[in-house]
Amino acid sequence: MENITVIGSGTMGNGIAHTFAQHGFKVTLVDINQDALKRAITTIAGNLDRQVKKGAIDEQLKALTLNNITTFTDLQTAVANADLVIEAATENQEIKLNLFKQLSDYCKAGAILASNTSSISITQIASVTKVPGNVIGMHFMNPVPVMKLVEVIRGYATTDAVTNIIMDLSKQLDKVPVEVNDYPGFVANRILMPMINEAIYTLYEGVAGVEEIDTVMKLGMAHPMGPLQLADFIGLDVCLAILNVLHKGFGNPKYAPCPLLVNMVTAGHNGVKTGSGFYKYTPGSKDLVVADKFS
Ligand SMILES: NC(=O)c1ccc[n+]([C@@H]2O[C@H](COP(=O)([O-])OP(=O)(O)OC[C@H]3O[C@@H](n4cnc5c(N)ncnc54)[C@H](O)[C@@H]3O)[C@@H](O)[C@H]2O)c1
């Protein structure tokens, strides 16, 4: 396993590329958007600088890491030599199915095709390829260079050999892999999203305010961040999309997204990335200020 191609250079793609490159792998980062690739390299360089300042890595490893990453906009060229492809494009089923259809034509025989999807079925993704046994979920957490967990998701057809390779590879990245089966939300989001949804219901029903709900969960349950702040970080649009997958996948009303979440996403208040969610975010400010609507 030498050559890794990462598809999508957004929040997760740049973190995945950074992590592999820092551990000595040759990484090809591909995105349809040239600006996104430029932003990714700037972000990776900034994050490496922070690691150097903290003494976690030296200047030499920083240079080596950057040197290990090449960027492309053409998918076919970018995956031609890959031993492993990790897809981290936008969380949209049509985009992912299209990409994987192309991957099974463009990749060399034996290449492993992984997706970093938060919720889309690995079995379904695998079904559009010619090599379903080689398709697997490799669900990294945000921020990738910092978070230890990799949720390794076995699709219905994923082989033992491919699962073992991905478990071992994750350990080589200094991560802790956990193997799970492919059902809606896998494990991480099946448990996290209902908690976030319940926190939003608690606010919606007027049981308590934004800060009160987050404080109860931080101080009472020793969570590093309250569920409403975490939802803002993940993106409220992403939380809604995952809840919809759980709701549809299990057909159980307990996963129905709270109407307040639906309203906020419809209004474009998606959390940190749009500057407003349950809290408001001013560039350059680290203060956590409750959004006007809830203050
Ligand atoms: N953000 C998180 O906290 C988080 C955590 C775990 C997993 N995920 C998953 O990771 C994936 C990426 O999420 P993100 O938050 O990095 O998204 P993002 O919006 O930050 O980045 C997505 C990138 O994919 C690119 N893209 C779209 N279609 C493409 C295509 N056909 N070919 C190449 N590039 C394409 C876009 O230009 C964009 O740069 C999603 O599946 C998401 O569910 C996200």
3-181, CATH topology level: Rossmann fold (3.40.50)
- Distance (angstroms) between ligand 1 centre and the Cα of 138 equals 14
Domain limits of the chain?
Answer: 3-181, 188-290
State the CB neighbour count (10 A cutoff) for residue 256.
14
Please write the tens of the pLDDT for every residue from 2-23. 999 999 999 899 999 999 999 9
pLDDT at 91 over 90: no
Q: What are phi and psi of 208, to 5 degrees?
A: -160, 170
277 touches ligand 1 (CB under 6 Å): no
pLDDT > 90: percent of the chain: 95
Report the pLDDT averaged over residues 117-125: 95
Helix (H, G, I), strand (E, B) or coil at 83: coil
What is the full DSSP assignment across 210-246?
A: HHHHHHHHHHHH--SS-HHHHHHHH-HHHHHHHHHHH
Measured CA to CA in angstroms, residue 276 lies from 21, 230, 264 at distances of 33, 13, 10
- Distance (angstroms) between ligand 1 centre and the Cα of 90 equals 4
**CATH node for 188-290:** 1.10.1040.10
Please write the tens of the pLDDT for every residue from 23-38. 999 999 999 999 999 9
pLDDT at 273 over 90: no
The answer to whether the annotation marks 127 as part of a ligand binding site is no
| Ligand 1 pocket test, candidate residues 6, 7, 9, 12, most atoms within 8 A of CB | 12
Q: Whole-model pTM above 0.95?
A: no
99 touches ligand 1 (CB under 6 Å): yes
Q: Which tokens sit at 262?
A: 């639906």
| Ligand 1 nearest atom to the CA of residue 98, by list position | 31
| Ligand 1 pocket test, candidate residues 6, 7, 9, 11, most atoms within 8 A of CB | 11
Is there a shared CATH topology between the 3-181 domain and the 188-290 domain? no
The answer to whether the annotation marks 31 as part of a ligand binding site is yes
The answer to whether the annotation marks 193 as part of a ligand binding site is no
Q: Which residues pair with 153 in a beta bridge?
A: 137, 180
pLDDT at 182 over 90: yes
Is 139 annotated in the active site? yes
- Distance (angstroms) between ligand 1 centre and the Cα of 88 equals 5
